[in-house]
Amino acid sequence: MESGQWTIEKRSSFRNDSFARDNENVPETGCLSIIVLGASGDLAKKKTFPALFNLYRQGFLQSNEVHIFGYARTKISDDELRNRIRGYLINDKTATKGQSDEVSDFLQLIKYVSGSYDAEEGFQLLDKEISEHELSKNSLEGSSRRLFYLALPPSVYPSVCRMIKQCCMNKSDLGGWTRIVVEKPFGKDLDSAEQLSAQIGELFDEPQIYRIDHYLGKELVQNMLVLRFANRFFLPLWNRDNIDNVQIVFREDFGTEGRGGYFDEYGIIRDIIQNHLLQVLCLVGMEKPISLKPEHIRDEKVKVLQSVLPISDDEVVLGQYDGYRDDPTVPDHSNTPTFATVVLRIHNERWEGVPFILKAGKALNSRKAEIRVQFKDVPGDIFKCKKQGRNEFVIRLQPSEAIYMKLTVKQPGLEMSTVQSELDLSYGQRYQGVTIPEAYERLILDTIRGDQQHFVRRDELKAAWEIFTPLLHKIDNGEMKPLPYQPGSRGPAEADELLARAGYVQT
Ligand code: NDP
Ligand code: BG6
């Protein structure tokens, strides 16, 4: 075996901790082919290739074992694809020679194959290229690993999966694997998602399918389990006796520019709430898993989702920002919400009566994603001199990752008065010099390692669609209409009223 073939194993051993042991991540070696389908597209350019580059830079992908294939219908040469990617990875005018060389070395790993998504010819050609790469790396000594990343519209997932199955599976007798990574949106409602799951499920086993939700790759989302279950502090407090309400919020300060066509078909609930925010809700609400094994964690997430009660219409506020319909790709009478606040209620012993308020919006006044856990008032308040603030535990997922606790302290000075203050763990200050990895980087590495902990299981997806499908159908049928709001605002005022009705108190 060539030196360097052990790179991923070596790196994995850095995770010589309970995570690695409990996941039984046996590191694998051997020739690795990463195939990005839809390589000409937006996601590939903005997220997939940059994530692969970062993994390469950090030594997780070694040139003597890895090759990257781009596949799409567009007819371009290897060099054209490399130039496009280069433009995204580096500014040639300001880059140092070292950076430029590093990018050039990475780009040499990339080859492009053009073909359609529903005919064998292109996939046979792709298979030939992958096999040549495997032979050139002498992979028979080990095993060959094939990772197919579908950076494609979901409409072509079934035919692409069929083609992969027919033409491109790993052929090594000595082990190895074939895995596929699929992007959201995975379906449009319960029926379409189940149909898609069934079509892909006929071709691949669940352990081969990685349904990506990039929020699960964010540092502070991954921190949720640690915070909740590694701190004695929270154990007795994390329940309906102490917590008044939970907010999970996503705001963007830009609209749907450039993606209006896609967005109008899906809307903010399918784009953000049904997946990203609901996944966060699972981690906030779930019971402690038996272990950190992916199946144990996902079992608990499914239970939370299955305990969510049907959404009540009067606990929903929808909005659409003024100007959204000016986009030429958006129909003039579009009913698609670009903003939604939805209250979910979990019917179990821990959470009965605690509203989980999920809020997401485009073209708002700021860009932020956070979890706000608000505690109940202190009973028998003796500090009447000033209205007592509530305790609030806030996890800011982005930007500027931070965890802070709002609490009441004595106002410093001679008077006995109270003031709201914070215990603040801002990552920028506390972990200076530490680079927080991009979500996609982490998740792609997980797919190579075979760790499905941060990916959505089929039953989880089904339970998530079950929660939102009735509401989505009402919106699709025009039975519920979005309220207008000004771009750059907080969204419709009715959303703040709903928040107050749900019990949230501004601290
Ligand atoms: P694109 O629209 O850029 O499509 C990707 C590639 O797919 C295109 O370059 C094109 O390649 C091919 N393609 C496009 N439309 C069709 C079609 N109707 N039939 C067959 N092939 C088509 O998509 P994105 O890259 O933006 O997204 C890919 C996936 O990732 C989607 O599922 C999307 O929802 C998801 N996603 C995207 C994000 C983003 O920021 N862009 C964020 C999160 C998820 P060619 O014509 O060369 O074959
Ligand atoms: C994507 C949505 O899944 O997430 C986009 O399709 C959204 O509409 C994006 O802009 C937000 O991701 P992040 O990581 O920037 O919060």
Nearest Cα neighbor of 393 from 241, 177, 211, 228 is 228
Ligand nearest to the CA of 112: 1
What pLDDT does 257 receive?
Answer: 84
Higher per-residue pLDDT: 467 or 11: 467
Does 502 have pLDDT greater than 50?
A: yes
Residues in contact with 22: Cβ distance below 8 Å, sequence separation at least 6, in sequence order:
291, 292, 293
In this prediction, does ipTM exceed 0.95? Answer: no
369 lines ligand 2 (CB under 6 A): yes
Comparing 17-31, 67-81, 179-193, 432-446, which segment has the lowest mean pLDDT?
A: 17-31
What pLDDT does 139 receive?
Answer: 57
Q: Model confidence over 369-413: pLDDT tens digits?
A: 999 999 999 988 888 755 668 999 999 999 999 999 999 999 999
Q: What share of the chain is helix, strand, coil (3-state, %, to 5)?
A: 40, 20, 40
What pLDDT does 14 receive?
Answer: 33
Query: Tokens 């040469």 sit at which residue?
Result: 77
What pLDDT does 417 receive?
Answer: 87
Ligand nearest to the CA of 329: 1
Residue 308 — φ and ψ, nearest 5°?
A: -75, 130
Kindly report the protein residue whose alpha carbon is nearest to atom 8 of ligand 2. Answer: 271
472 lines ligand 2 (CB under 6 A): no
Higher per-residue pLDDT: 142 or 52: 52
What pLDDT does 4 receive?
Answer: 32
Neighbours of 125 (CB within 10 A): 15
Q: Model confidence over 176-207: pLDDT tens digits?
A: 899 999 999 899 999 999 999 999 999 999 99
pLDDT, mean of residues 40-68: 93
pLDDT, mean of residues 95-123: 93
Read off the pTM.
0.92
Percentage of residues of the chain with pLDDT beyond 90: 80
Contact yes or no for 105/61 (Cβ under 8 A):
no
Kindly report the protein residue whose alpha carbon is nearest to atom 17 of ligand 1. Answer: 153
What are the tokens at 441?
């980087």
Kindly report the protein residue whose alpha carbon is nearest to atom 4 of ligand 2. Answer: 272
Does 5 have pLDDT greater than 50?
A: no
- Residue 156 Cα to ligand 1 midpoint, Å, equals 10
Confirm whether 214 is a catalytic residue: no
52 lines ligand 2 (CB under 6 A): no
SS3 340: strand
What's the mean pLDDT when you consider all of the chain? 91
pLDDT, mean of residues 35-55: 95
